[in-house]
Amino acid sequence: MNTFNINRRRFLQGTTASLALTTFGARGLDLIYPANTLRVGLIGTGWYGKSDLLRLIQVAPVEVVALCDVDKKMLDGAAKLVSQRQKSGKTPKLYGDYRKMLADNQFDIVLIGTPDHWHALQTIDCIKAGANVYVQKPISVDVMEGEAMVAAARKYNKVVQVGTQRKSTPHLIDAKKNIVDAGLLGKVSHVEMCCYFPMRNNGNPPVQAVPDFLDYEMWTGPAPLRPYDGLPHVRWWRTFMEYGNGITGDMCVHMLDTVRWMLKLGWPKRISSTGGIYVQKEGKSNISDTQSALFEYDDLNCVWQHRSWGTPANPDYPWSFTLYGDKGTLWGSTMAYDFIPQGKGEKIHKDVVYEKEKYPEDLTEPTEPKIELNAAPATRLHMLNFLDAIDKGSRPIADIEEGHISTASCILANMSMKTGRPIVYDPKKREIVGDREANGLLARPYRQPWVHPDPTKV
């Protein structure tokens, strides 16, 4: 019996498989072992790019045809790991420019694990090249990028799954089904979301020469070119607004997306936010260390709060959401959930699902660095949902439009913080109502020769 069949049998014994069969019915078995080998490429071979790819390898027969990264050392390490993990044992072709990778190969699927400022151009180019796309969150760094990504997916009829895998997290699926949908919360009229992780990387590294193994010009792409002060990956780049949208864009997008999914919410009616750098002023980081945001819906307020200093409000839920209903309260995170009824009733607790025994390759050599074992089952199920949508020609659970709403809402919160005014966005007109200055922030200027995507011309 070959290794893949052994892994397939192991998968069928796991929690993810049970959820796949529940979600997809008997066809779940076909998804775990579809008839055709899928041609796959990866752009961005860092931490989460590799993580997403290796989870896909675990649940489907794929041939990783090519990898792309501007860091040659990172690229070579990823190539070695993939060759040891994929069934064929082949080493993928390696590229430093994703455009050449797309020109040289045909793909069924391309995964995008690059920094946020690259997501829009790469997603649209992959779609135009005929690939279905799995893109990490947040999908964009400005609102018009997101609008263009949705337009491209619809125009070319491609499936785009966003890496907001909380929707595929086993214990949160259970919470939605058995707490929220079952009516145990009653009417939910207030939501709190938070992150209290120390995420600013608030250092002052000196400007230095760019190493010969890194194409820093291509890494920067359409973003402003900062003086080089060390390798931007893994998290140094996230500490600058040039490449992302701060902690709100990075962490609120997950929790807001989860809340929207659980409560069946669309675009917020109005968004407002305040914050800034209140405490950690000594470093180069220019993202806010303290921020509050309010996402308003009919008879419902969703409040976000982050601090990259001090202690969490609830040590058990430092990055989380809380749904307040008139019959009870639900705390939820990547690690657990707790339901607390109003008055008499039974409290319900459920922990994250691990699949260490089912997937020992997650823990044994050759192992990937910094694997999130708590998120691996969710990512595997997210990949299965992605494959199912491709097979059916349907929308995946984290469709690009849903990812756009969650991402853009966080971007609009940052815009409110910058302008000092509430934001009302009209998604049909693609404009902010009654605010010329804020409308000028919907699309960031691109560095030449890169051209900002236009949702009317993709």
CA–CA distance, 157 with 276 (Å, rounded to integer): 41
Same domain, 124 and 184: no
pLDDT of 6 above 50: no
Q: For 380-399, what is each residue's pLDDT tens digit?
A: 999 999 999 999 999 999 99
Contact call for residues 423 and 432 (beta carbons, < 8 A): yes
In a domain, 450, yes or no: no
Same domain, 253 and 313: yes
Beta bridge mates, 200: none
pLDDT of 265 above 50: yes
The CATH code of the domain that includes 271 is 3.30.360.10
Phi-psi region of 288 (alpha: psi -120 to 50; beta: other; left: phi over 0): beta
Same domain, 383 and 349: no
Same domain, 384 and 264: no
Q: For 202-240, what is each residue's pLDDT tens digit?
A: 899 999 999 999 999 999 999 999 999 999 997 899 999
Q: Which two tokens stand for residue 320?
A: 């989380």
DSSP 8-state assignment for residue 311: -
- Neighbouring CB atoms inside 10 A of 179's CB total 24
The CATH code of the domain that includes 72 is 3.40.50.720
Q: What is the average pLDDT score of the chain?
A: 93
Residue (of 47, 48, 84) closest to 64 by Cα position: 84
CA–CA distance, 19 with 169 (Å, rounded to integer): 10
Report CA-CA distances (Å) from 455 to 253, 439, 449.
22, 15, 19
Same domain, 161 and 120: yes
Strand (E) or helix (H) holding 41: strand 38-43
Same domain, 137 and 253: no
Residue whose tokens read 């305040």: 274
Model confidence, pTM: 0.94
Q: Which two tokens stand for residue 342?
A: 């109003």
Residue whose tokens read 């200055």: 437
Q: Which two tokens stand for residue 181?
A: 């949908």
Q: For 318-331, what is each residue's pLDDT tens digit?
A: 999 999 999 999 99
pLDDT of 422 above 50: yes
Same domain, 93 and 192: no
CA–CA distance, 95 with 84 (Å, rounded to integer): 19
Same domain, 53 and 158: yes
CA–CA distance, 405 with 430 (Å, rounded to integer): 12
Kindly write down the DSSP assignment for every residue of 324-354, as one continuous string.
EESSEEEEEESSEEEEEESSSS--EEEEPP-
CA–CA distance, 145 with 453 (Å, rounded to integer): 6
Same domain, 391 and 411: no
Strand (E) or helix (H) holding 302: strand 300-307
Q: How many domains, in total, are found in the chain? A: 2
The residue range of the domain holding 118 is 3-167+367-400
pLDDT of 29 above 50: no
Kindly write down the DSSP assignment for every residue of 382-419, as one continuous string.
HHHHHHHHHHHT---TTBHHHHHHHHHHHHHHHHHHHH
> What is the rounded average pLDDT of the residues 90-106?
98
In a domain, 457, yes or no: no
Same domain, 176 and 45: no
Same domain, 222 and 96: no
Same domain, 79 and 21: yes
Length of the chain: 458
DSSP 8-state assignment for residue 237: G
pLDDT of 31 above 80: no
- Say how many Å lie between the first and final Cα of the chain, rounded: 47
**What pLDDT is recorded for position 99?**
98
Q: For 2-6, 175-179, 260-264, which range has the lowest pLDDT when averaged over its residues?
A: 2-6
- Neighbouring CB atoms inside 10 A of 284's CB total 15
Q: For 8-17, 56-65, 448-457, which range has the lowest pLDDT when averaged over its residues?
A: 8-17
Alpha helices in 13-142 (DSSP H): 15-24, 28-32, 47-59, 72-85, 98-104, 119-128
In a domain, 130, yes or no: yes
Would you call the peptide bond into 211 cis, given omega within 30 degrees of 0 as the criterion? no
